[in-house]
Structure 1
Amino acid sequence: MPETQDAVENLVASVAMETGDLVANPGADPTNGLSAVEHRRRIAQYGYNEIPEKKPSPFLNFARKFSGPTAWMLEAVIVLSLVLGNYANVYIIVALLVLNAVLGFFLEQKASKAVDALRQRLRVNARVLRDGSWLVVPARDLVPGDIVRIRAGDFVPADLQVLDGKLAVDQSSLTGESLPMEKAPSSLLFSGSVIRSGEATGLVLLTGARTYYGKTTELVQFARPRLQAEEVTARVVKWLFVIVGLSLSAAFVVALVSGMHLVDILSLALVLLASAIPVALPAMFTITLALGSVELSRRGVLVTRLNAAEDAATMDTLCTDKTGTITTNRLTVTGILPGDGWSEADVILYGALASEAANHDPIDRAFLLTAEERGAPQDRYTRRSFIPFDPATRRTEAVVEKDGTTLRVAKGAIVAIAELTGTDPARLREQSGGWAEKGYRTLAVAAGAGDDPLSIVGIVAMQDLPRPDARHLVGELQKLGISVKMLTGDALPIAQETARQVGLAGTITGAEEFEKVKEADPARASALIEESAGFARVYPEDKYAIVRSLQAQGHIVGMTGDGINDAPSLRQAEVGIAVASATDVAKGAASVVLTGEGLENIVDLVLVGRMMHQRILTWIFNKVVKTFQVVVFVVVAFLLTGQFVISVFGVVLLLFVIDFVTLSLSTDNVRGSKHPDSWEITGLVRSSLVMGVLVVIESLLILNVGRGPFGLAATTSGLQSFAFAILFYFGIMTVFVVRERGHFWDSAPSIPLLLVSLADMGIVAVLLTMGVPGLVPIPPAATLTVIAMAAFFSFGINDTIKYLMLKRWW
């Protein structure tokens, strides 16, 4: 992938020149390094070699809890209460507002601590030349102009220029390229890449946020996903406000015609506003997501942004990185073509003899592992000499001995081995059967006895194979209605072959074609992203743009990855998923981190997320039904009787005994959807209104029983207690109706939900019998009548209508 390499090197070189950090930098001394004094001066000038992390103020986070639709509605009720002089209501609602803020803040802080734990970075040390002596210092102390020594197995601690030595460098976490890049003097090395073989001295050019690694991390800072919970809360509040607004408008018109006082309407507005506030919705979101996150952690999935698990329920597109995510990020022998008179065993044996395990070279390792798996008799040979890979010769050579016979072996690029053996390279390529066209890495192996000329032993194809579970994962996600797209920095043939092996049907588009279409017709480029099964030779900014384009088209996007180059798109996606082998920056940018190898836990993430979605959806469904019931019931009763059938205290008490008690829905037994969920609030409200109309009619019938046989019409306070009982018991029973999309008996509620609801019903029955300030006692027979009639209407009539309605509309 030379174009990718050149583009990145040009980027680093241009930044380095802008800051004056090239080799010509005064004070860069390859013999003695920087002095201690000069090092301190450069620390002051450039800062430490680290990426600063931006953390929001906890005080600001807490203050934000008093802003937003829910908080504003509560604050409006407080103002109205002050105007009307209802100071007791002010105290109650202020306490409710503070309780909601404190609960949300502490749950989010707890989740934030989990994020911080996952973002702990490994302390990397570096060998640096200072005052003529080689020292081992923390990598954060490096400055431009430092001379460092790097060798096989090291992380590159900053952007460097090679002064002497030769290296093979793994840059897959930066550029997405799966094959190591060869580095010679004057080449650039990038912070975060890994030295696979060789040893060299380098000059530090760029550190901290100015490195290629740092520039990518800065892009992460600007990436922000949409927050579904905030959008849903705002839309629910909007619909509840519409319900209250329409009801108040009707009451206001009637009041003007009948000559009622404006103060009476304000009192009614206070009651209705208090009833409509979904004060427990943010807490329901937080608790459900927190419990779901605990469940996911048991399955090897760590959620680092609390709402990401719920976003996984609505995710309809998954953009996945190839190297290290779909594939193993390890070269494997996938094809062997022996030469005339040779066998496959000979090809592997001689290729392994021409390899060195200590170099950690991916090609050497592939030969050695294959030889070990096949039982090749390497131990029968004694090595006399070994020449490691050289970019100039593009091959490795070794001299081995067995039973007194000397054997020369070599392996390398087809052209290099053809030249060594005097063979026509075109013929070798033809024999390889199109491996190169499929993106396989093809090499030739040669051998010869003593001083005899070497001859071709065979040709080997290597590939970064897909993980064993990759094809299964893709199939499972597609069954769940999720479109999977592969994004990779590798060449188009490699991407196409990988897509074929894992079952990604559709076109794999090259980055060059995508760029041409984007420049000529941006609208067509968006359609191309939608249609393609993946993209090859993409840069980090391309991945980021693809995710944003999909989001602009209304998709909820997931993104998997493991490298620094994936970090911006991981942060931008609603569901950023870092695999177990991911770099620290990728894990920090992601909202989900897998702790086990492979990708099978993504299916767990989606299924658990969809169950969490159903629980939240049930709470909202119930809240809209209950709000419609309270608002319309109170307005109609007020217009019919001229009385407020429930007090502001009764409405606020309902918030506690229903809204907060139904938080136990976060533990309910539910079934996840087989398709991506959506927050289709309009359809939800439509269904809720039908249920609400039924409940209002039924509530008025029960209220009439209280006014007649029980004679409660004589006192407003007694009627208000009876109306409170109606609204409470209908509210609790409606929970058990709407929690199941089929009939209520199709699934059993969770034990916590059942026990809390029964306890709540018992406590309220005692309060209604004994009485408390603001709620006068009523006869136990009246309470039992409400319970019996509410149960009959809820489970005998409403459940059947709900089943038929949802079967048709949802």
Structure 2
Amino acid sequence: MTVSQALAALHVNTVVGLTGAEIERRRGEHGYNEVTQAKHHPVRDFLKKFWGVSAWMLELIMILSAVLGNYSDLAVVGTLLVVNAVLGFFQEQRAAGVVETLRKRLQVSARTLRDSSWQVVPARELLPGDIVRIRPGDIIPADVKLLAGDMSLDQSALTGESKEAHKAIGDVLSSGSIVRHGEGDAVVILTGANTFFGRTTELVQEARPKLHIEAVVAGIVRWLFAIVGVLLGIVLVLSLIRGVSLVEMVPLLLVLLMGAVPVALPVMFTVSMAFGSKELARRGVLVTRLSATEDAATMDVLCVDKTGTITMNQLTVTGVSPLDKATEAEVLRVGALASQAANQDPIDLAFLAAAKDRKAFDGTPATKTISFIPFDAKTRLTEALIEENGQRLRVMKGAVRTIAEACGLQPPAIEALEKHMSDAAAKGYRTLAVARGGERDTPALVGLVSLYDPPRPDARQLIATLRAMGVQVKMLTGDALAVAREIGQGVGLANIQRVADLKAAKLQAGEKDADLFAGADGFAEVYPEDKYTVVSQLQAAGHVVGMTGDGVNDSPALRQAEVGIAVSTATDVAKGAASVVLTDPGLTNIVALVEQGRTIYQRILTWVINKISRTILKSAFVAIAFIVTGKFVVSAFAMLLLVFLTDFAKVSLSTDNVRPSQSPETWNIGGFIQVSVILGIAMVAEALLLLWIGWTKFGLATNDAALHTFSFLMLLYFAVFSVISARERSWFWVSLPSRTFMLALSADALIGTALTTVGIKGLASEPWWQTLAIFVYAFISCLIVNDALKVVMIRWRVPHATGQSPLRK
């Protein structure tokens, strides 16, 4: 169809758009602009929890227990397997719910003409017949026919070809394409499943890249497997020498080996990331990739756009300087004619608002816009061709030097204008020039207009907060150096440099000074392509960089940065390239992102420290005790019960009260691993000493059931008290754990104690005074002796960590 035929078939007026009544009618006929996504059946997802290394080990133990007739072991292992599957399934469902919520909140938006006014609506609400405005950086939200303008599209999502496709009036633009250059109006012709692309393009990157900490933990687990393997090998050889049946040893060997398997690790990571993402979403930070919070923990440099992040992004006209006998109203009128409300551009809106407030159009002839060339960072101007009283005129606004040169002014005149601009810039004002002329004539300068975007009231305090957290903040702006310095001074960023000067200095210095860019508090006269250079240079100097952006040209920098942050006004492409999207302007949400990332890091680090020390305790204690006594001091049943009670109780670490550290984190945790190993060895020595006391004083040498109960309670209480110590990098009493964490540990200890009190198969009833003695011994060992050892070791091996304490109550 031609444009006119399409508009007639769709019954739409390009001046009014769809009306409220028509929207309701078409919604019932066409539904929403989306494709229902196929969802996995929950039963299949649940059954997958019984497939994997941890599940296989438990299932093998169940088979061996059934063969040996140990039905109580079979019941406990079966319960552990089912509980693991249920917990993992429900936590994944919760995490999926968080991601689904974010996916809905991050859908593509569209500028739509409805009831004669332009408005921004979610793309899923578009209907056939909607008039939409399309700009560079937009993702085409439905199949549309171009009514006005021309543009170049990236259709690689549809065709696989990277070459840009040019589109003119009457052409169809397929959903999923990305606008690279140009802008225009279009009418929606197909939506939802009827589009060529087949679905609305969405921005959430649901893929979850492998986390750095997961790689660290994987290395730790391999190392623990090696230690456990050596100990079990020794136990196996000695058992064969002593005539112990190999069949009888297999279940216990598997259970000890399982001590090195992070059974609850997937649940721990999922809960931590989902819990953090949900908290951030509540505070206006939408995490499009769950691992982004982990990246934020290590960020030490944050590059931020001035407009909308440090400033209010509410430009207002503060001064008009008419030239060549023009009036203020005439200057504003020409500037408004070179603007478009549909673009929702802050500069355009400032001109339109000022022209309306000062009645610049009153008593003037009606005009018709023939064509419009939007602002481009390379041309630094906007231009429109209008028709007035049958005559075609060019109107433009933009950078003072650019407009002056277009008007043919000579250097002395340009320098005079720039002097005026410099005086305004000293006050923080941005000055634009406005010109008008015939269609084929050289335009004439009409006047200068000063605009001001005031700093946000909280910007200075929040920048100081980020600096106190060890994050350098660097302001990026396309404004002139004088304007940038005035704004920078107001928010505590004094050292603002021209990015071109730094690039030149970098070329001269070579590799002698790789950190030139890190020495500045901000960069002025920044072109979009310069942002990628800034990020790359900072990374080359060894920094972990965060970057905020809003435009299509910011996408390379957002993707290059470790933490790409799309601000609230960002284009769809910028949001797609970022790993975090802010829903509110300003820096408040970025502070929340850094805090949450460091909080999650500390919780997972606590889990790592405790896992290493307790694995050494369980494996070495059982192995050495067997070598010395010739007996298995803890039964397979008791060890499985211990795993069941302790591993999943520690999932509650994901909710623990933690104060984020005051410096960026690092994944080089060798010092903490050394501390964990020393603590593990200390607990082995303490456990063996207590076993010797029980062996000689409590008659454990002749009563295997009592021996198993004694060892079970000792390992249980050591597990409870050791994690209380591990959660705090300083003395354990410096802070209080969360209520959920304490309830989980209390339930852990009470249930284990109750089971030994009543006595069940494999665990004889323990006298209350022995239970109390073991409890007190474990308390003193873990929270007095080992806690002091931990503090000394951390101050020696990880001195910067002493300030990384959980939240004080």
Same fold (TM over 0.5): yes
Deviation (angstroms), 1:646: 0.3
Deviation (angstroms), 1:286: 2.6
Deviation (angstroms), 1:724: 0.6
Q: Which residue of 2 aligns with 1:703?
A: 691
**1:294-318 deviations in Å (ceiling 9; x for gaps):** 4334433344544433443234455
Q: Which residue of 2 aligns with 1:287?
A: 271
Q: Which residue of 2 aligns with 1:432?
A: 418
Report if the CA contact (8 A) 1:347-1:445 is conserved.
Answer: no
Q: Which residue of 2 aligns with 1:460?
A: 449
Question: Secondary structure of the equivalent of 2:363?
Answer: strand
Q: Which residue of 1 aligns with 2:734?
A: 746
Q: Which residue of 1 aligns with 2:28?
A: none
**1:764-802 deviations in Å (ceiling 9; x for gaps):** 322222101231112111111111222222233111111
Deviation (angstroms), 1:673: 0.8
| Residue 385 (structure 1) aligned with residue 365 (structure 2) | yes
Deviation (angstroms), 1:619: 2.5
The verdict on how the C-alpha distance between 1:215 and 1:688 changes in structure 2, with shifts beyond 3 A counting, is same
Q: Which residue of 2 aligns with 1:480?
A: 469
Deviation (angstroms), 1:632: 0.9
Report if the CA contact (8 A) 2:309-2:586 is conserved.
Answer: yes
Question: Secondary structure of the equivalent of 1:630?
Answer: helix
Q: Which residue of 2 aligns with 1:632?
A: 620
**1:476-509 deviations in Å (ceiling 9; x for gaps):** 4344234567789x79989987996774968776
Report if the CA contact (8 A) 1:768-1:775 is conserved.
Answer: yes
Deviation (angstroms), 1:150: 6.1
Question: Secondary structure of the equivalent of 1:460?
Answer: strand
The verdict on how the C-alpha distance between 1:486 and 1:384 changes in structure 2, with shifts beyond 3 A counting, is closer
Q: Distance in 2 between matches of 1:92 and 1:308?
A: 38
The verdict on how the C-alpha distance between 1:714 and 1:546 changes in structure 2, with shifts beyond 3 A counting, is farther
Q: Distance in 1 between matches of 2:9 and 2:512?
A: 57
Q: Distance in 1 between matches of 2:240 and 2:512?
A: 58
The verdict on how the C-alpha distance between 1:531 and 1:715 changes in structure 2, with shifts beyond 3 A counting, is same
Q: Distance in 2 between matches of 1:203 and 1:70?
A: 52
1:781 to 769, 778, 781: 769
Q: Which amino acid aligns with 1:641?
A: T
Deviation (angstroms), 1:736: 1.9
Q: Distance in 2 between matches of 1:627 and 1:108?
A: 26
Q: TM-score, normalised by structure 2?
A: 0.70
Q: Distance in 2 between matches of 1:809 and 1:599?
A: 35
Report if the CA contact (8 A) 2:178-2:573 is conserved.
Answer: no
Q: Which residue of 1 aligns with 2:332?
A: 352
Deviation (angstroms), 1:89: 3.8
Report if the CA contact (8 A) 2:634-2:711 is conserved.
Answer: yes
Q: Which residue of 2 aligns with 1:607?
A: 595
Q: Which residue of 1 aligns with 2:706?
A: 718
| Residue 598 (structure 1) aligned with residue 581 (structure 2) | no
Report if the CA contact (8 A) 1:274-1:652 is conserved.
Answer: no
Q: Distance in 1 between matches of 2:655 and 2:546?
A: 26
2:223 to 239, 242, 245: 239
**1:119-155 deviations in Å (ceiling 9; x for gaps):** 344686989xxxxxxxxx999898xxxx997679998
Where do 1:126-525 residues align within 5 Å? 157=140, 225-228=209-212, 230-252=214-236, 254-255=238-239, 262-263=246-247, 266-316=250-300, 318=302, 333=317, 349-354=329-334, 356=336, 359-360=340-341, 363-367=347-351, 369=353, 378=358, 382-385=362-365, 387=367, 394=383, 412=397, 424=410, 427-433=413-419, 443-444=432-433, 458-462=447-451, 473-482=462-471, 503=493
CA RMSD of aligned residues (A): 6.1
The verdict on how the C-alpha distance between 1:170 and 1:500 changes in structure 2, with shifts beyond 3 A counting, is farther
User: Mind listing any 5+ residue stretches in structure 1 that lack a counterpart?
Assistant: 1-27, 38-47, 128-136, 172-182, 400-407, 448-453
Q: Which amino acid aligns with 1:281?
A: L
Q: Which residue of 2 aligns with 1:694?
A: 682
Deviation (angstroms), 1:187: 12
- Quick check: 694-703 or 456-465, which moved more? 456-465
Report if the CA contact (8 A) 1:80-1:270 is conserved.
Answer: no
Q: Which amino acid aligns with 2:470?
A: G
Q: Distance in 1 between matches of 2:609 and 2:340?
A: 62
Q: Distance in 2 between matches of 1:511 and 1:219?
A: 36
Report if the CA contact (8 A) 2:646-2:719 is conserved.
Answer: yes
Question: Secondary structure of the equivalent of 2:648?
Answer: helix
The verdict on how the C-alpha distance between 1:550 and 1:482 changes in structure 2, with shifts beyond 3 A counting, is same
Q: Distance in 2 between matches of 1:312 and 1:721?
A: 46
Q: Which amino acid aligns with 1:753?
A: F
The verdict on how the C-alpha distance between 1:708 and 1:29 changes in structure 2, with shifts beyond 3 A counting, is same
Question: Secondary structure of the equivalent of 1:601?
Answer: helix
Q: Which amino acid aligns with 1:366?
A: A
The verdict on how the C-alpha distance between 1:109 and 1:667 changes in structure 2, with shifts beyond 3 A counting, is closer
Q: Which amino acid aligns with 1:99?
A: V
Q: Distance in 2 between matches of 1:230 and 1:591?
A: 19
Q: Distance in 2 between matches of 1:232 and 1:722?
A: 35
Q: TM-score, normalised by structure 1?
A: 0.69
Report if the CA contact (8 A) 1:511-1:536 is conserved.
Answer: no
Q: Distance in 2 between matches of 1:664 and 1:324?
A: 38
Deviation (angstroms), 1:444: 3.7
Q: Which amino acid aligns with 2:776?
A: A
Report if the CA contact (8 A) 1:165-1:200 is conserved.
Answer: yes
Where do 1:754-765 residues align within 5 Å? 754-765=742-753
2:95 to 97, 106, 111: 111
Q: Distance in 1 between matches of 2:407 and 2:714?
A: 95
Q: Which amino acid aligns with 2:639?
A: V
Q: Which amino acid aligns with 1:433?
A: K
| Residue 735 (structure 1) aligned with residue 723 (structure 2) | yes
The verdict on how the C-alpha distance between 1:157 and 1:752 changes in structure 2, with shifts beyond 3 A counting, is closer
Report if the CA contact (8 A) 1:511-1:537 is conserved.
Answer: no
User: Mind listing any 5+ residue stretches in structure 2 that lack a counterpart?
Assistant: 11-30, 114-122, 155-166, 374-381, 437-442, 799-809
The verdict on how the C-alpha distance between 1:81 and 1:525 changes in structure 2, with shifts beyond 3 A counting, is farther
The verdict on how the C-alpha distance between 1:736 and 1:68 changes in structure 2, with shifts beyond 3 A counting, is same
Where do 1:528-539 residues align within 5 Å? 537-538=527-528
Q: Which residue of 2 aligns with 1:4?
A: none
- Quick check: 432-441 or 639-648, which moved more? 432-441
Question: Secondary structure of the equivalent of 2:419?
Answer: coil
Question: Secondary structure of the equivalent of 1:657?
Answer: helix
The verdict on how the C-alpha distance between 1:789 and 1:347 changes in structure 2, with shifts beyond 3 A counting, is farther
The verdict on how the C-alpha distance between 1:576 and 1:248 changes in structure 2, with shifts beyond 3 A counting, is same
The verdict on how the C-alpha distance between 1:289 and 1:418 changes in structure 2, with shifts beyond 3 A counting, is closer
- Quick check: 283-292 or 554-563, which moved more? 554-563
Q: Percent identity?
A: 41
Deviation (angstroms), 1:281: 2.3
**1:677-728 deviations in Å (ceiling 9; x for gaps):** 2344543331111111111111112112222222122121110111111111
Report if the CA contact (8 A) 2:127-2:191 is conserved.
Answer: no
Q: Distance in 1 between matches of 2:141 and 2:739?
A: 56
Q: Distance in 2 between matches of 1:205 and 1:531?
A: 52
**1:534-586 deviations in Å (ceiling 9; x for gaps):** 8955579x96x998999999976655444566678767876554433345666
Q: Which residue of 1 aligns with 2:18?
A: none
Q: Distance in 1 between matches of 2:662 and 2:721?
A: 28
**1:180-204 deviations in Å (ceiling 9; x for gaps):** xxx997999996779999x867999
| Residue 772 (structure 1) aligned with residue 773 (structure 2) | no
**1:137-181 deviations in Å (ceiling 9; x for gaps):** 999898xxxx9976799989579999886699999xxxxxxxxxx
Question: Secondary structure of the equivalent of 1:243?
Answer: helix
Deviation (angstroms), 1:735: 1.8
